[in-house]
Structure formats: structure tokens, C-alpha cells
Amino acid sequence: ERGIIVSNVPDFSTEEMADHVLGMILLLGRQIPRMQKYMMEGRFAQARTESLQLRRLSNLTLGLVGWGDSAIAVTRRALPCGLQVIATRRDLSKPSPEADELGVEMVELDDLLTRADFVSLHLPLSAGTRGLLNRQRLALMKRGAYLINASRGDIVDEQALAEMLHSGHLGGAGLDTFGVIEIFGETEGPPTHPVVTAESVIATPHVSALSVDSSRIVATGSVQNLVCVLNGHMPPPDQIVNRDVVPRSPLKPYDPALLQE
């Protein structure tokens, strides 16, 4: 209404998020945090006994909920590890050259949940995705399966997730985002919510997007957007959030030459 352009740098951390998700898959699949704990406690026989229950990645399936840039980046990392990859998205009928190229099968969400050994979320938080993985859908997951969430905590019913982790229905979770834990508050302290106290959980405080490289990209991209506007031009089209806006001051179309000076 006020003719203000809103811009962002949408893909600044795609690589970091994909690395983080794959790291959680590998740590959970081999139960490395638990084995390290047993090592430091001298429980060597128990570590060997429990390791006999693990399965090789090449016999497991990764299910991606959402099929955007981060999901595609995870797929490109997971396939060389031997994982079979399936995915779901809102419009399954929409063609996906990337899915065809990578051999990813597109399936309904409930089908994915019943088939996948790892379920990884790659969705924005919206009215349509809030609580998407509710108690009923979490119960569809295989016994012993793992949930990875580096998207938004409120996509999942975290109380139901906590119960299924503590009961052993789910084998574990890798969580980087939370709805029930205040990560960015003024005070800090050890979290006590049961969604992170289960021994089978790997939890990180919303850091999957962060690195020296992603920080540089988002800072540079933000400044470049400002440079465009201050020179009387629109920012790059893919970095405009409200693309239908009519600027309050007339702006020329985006000119890449502005960013080459």
C-alpha cells in the first residue's frame, strides 16, 4: 500500500542447511553421539552390542517433505551415500526436471511417512504448514525412524514428537529449530523441554544456516539491493519479496551492470 519494496537474499544458506541436514543423518544413522557417550563411560561391550542393530545407509530411504532448493541440495549429498530418496510437495502433478534428473520419486505425504527411514522437513512456516506433522502423521512413521527438522519448529507437534521419542516409537531426531524453546531470548540456559532431553535427539540452536560464507553472501546481497534502489533501479527480481509492488518513487528495471562496478 505504501509502495515500499521488500527484498531479501533467499538462497544465501542453501549449502549450509544441506550440509547440516546430511550431518545429522550420518550422526543419527551411525548413532555416533551415543557411541561417543559409551566410549567415554567405558561401556565398550554395550556399544558393540547396540551397533549390531544399525543398518547401512544404502539400505535406507530418505523422505524429503518439500522440494525446493534445500531439499534438492540435500538430495545431491545423500545419493552418493547410497540413500534412496523420495519426496513430496503440495503439487505432485507439477513437473520437476531436478527430480527426474536425480531419480527422486514423488509421493503423497502419508506414503512418504510410512516408507522413509529418515524424514527431513524443507518447508516455510505458513498457515498451511503449521502443525503439518501432527500426532497422527508422526504415528505413521516407521518404528525406529528419524525426523530431521532444520525448517521451522512449529511445523511439528513437538509435544507429540517428544512422547514418541521417549517411548521409543521414533529412533531419534535431529532438530535445529523449535517452537517450544526460545532460542533468541535475552536469557540463556539449558533447555528442559522433553523434545530435546531424549537421549536419541541431536539438537542445535538454529545454526544450520550459519557460516563465514553464508554471512558474507547475505551481507553482500543486502548491500547490493540497496545500491540498486539508491541508483534508481529495482533490485534483482528473484530478491524482491513483494513483486507486485508499485514503488512510491519510479524505479528503472534491474540493471546487472550496477553491481559490476
- Tens digit of each residue's pLDDT (9 = 90 or more) over 88-112: 999 999 999 999 999 999 999 999 9
Mind telling me the catalytic residues?
152, 188, 206
Closest CA to 67 of 88, 81, 38: 88
Q: Which residues contact 15 (CB under 8 A, 6 or more apart)?
A: 73, 213, 214
pLDDT by position in tens, the chain (length 261): 788 889 999 999 999 999 999 999 999 999 999 999 999 999 999 999 999 999 999 999 999 999 999 999 999 999 999 999 999 999 999 999 999 999 999 999 999 999 999 999 999 999 999 999 999 999 999 999 999 999 999 999 999 999 999 999 999 999 999 998 888 877 788 888 999 999 899 999 999 999 999 999 999 999 999 999 999 999 999 999 998 888 878 888 898 888 876
CA-CA distance, 171 to 109, in Å (whole number)? Answer: 20
- Tens digit of each residue's pLDDT (9 = 90 or more) over 24-62: 999 999 999 999 999 999 999 999 999 999 999 999 999
Instruction: Tell me the domain boundaries of the chain.
Output: 14-203, 212-260
Q: What is the reported pTM?
A: 0.92
CA-CA distance, 213 to 126, in Å (whole number)? Answer: 28
CA-CA distance, 206 to 150, in Å (whole number)? Answer: 8
At 167 the pLDDT is 96
CATH architecture of 14-203: 3-Layer(aba) Sandwich (3.40)
